[in-house]
Amino acid sequence: MFGLIGKITAESGRRAELAAYLHDGSRDLPGCLSYVVALDSQDPDVIWVTEVWEDAEAHKASLRLPSVQKAITKGRPLIAGFETVATTDPLPGLR
């Protein structure tokens, strides 16, 4: 499996809107086993996205989906910073 932990910093005051776009864009993604969009409890501008995919190719293919492209287009102006904190190899048997 393939995992991603991303830290996205929204433009000030735009986090909720950006998180909604990210969440909407994560619907029905082939090969996606887990996709969590979460608001940082301390920093009011930070969103964490933690993902698990069947493999890296499934993740890469998802970036070409219309729904994801649409979310990226809508979300990009609201993004002040993006960091891939880690790529991972999740253990099978997700809880």
Which C-beta is closer to a second copy: that of 12 or that of 91? Answer: 91
18 binds a second copy (CB under 8 A): no
85 binds a second copy (CB under 8 A): yes
36 binds a second copy (CB under 8 A): yes
Kindly list the distances between the CA atom of residue 85 and the CA atoms of 6, 7, 13, in Å, as whole numbers in the listed order. 5, 7, 23
Cα-based torsion angle of the residue sequence 13, 16, 20, 23 in order, rounded to the nearest 10 degrees? 110
Q: Which of 10, 18, 46, 71 binds a second copy (CB under 8 A)?
A: 46
Determine the interface stretch with a second copy among 2-10, 58-66, 72-80 (rule: CB under 8 A): 2-10
Rounded Cα–Cα distance for residues 7 and 49 (Å):
7
Kindly list the distances between the CA atom of residue 29 and the CA atoms of 55, 74, 79, 88, in Å, as whole numbers in the listed order. 13, 18, 22, 19
41 binds a second copy (CB under 8 A): yes
Q: Which of 11, 32, 74, 79 binds a second copy (CB under 8 A)?
A: 32
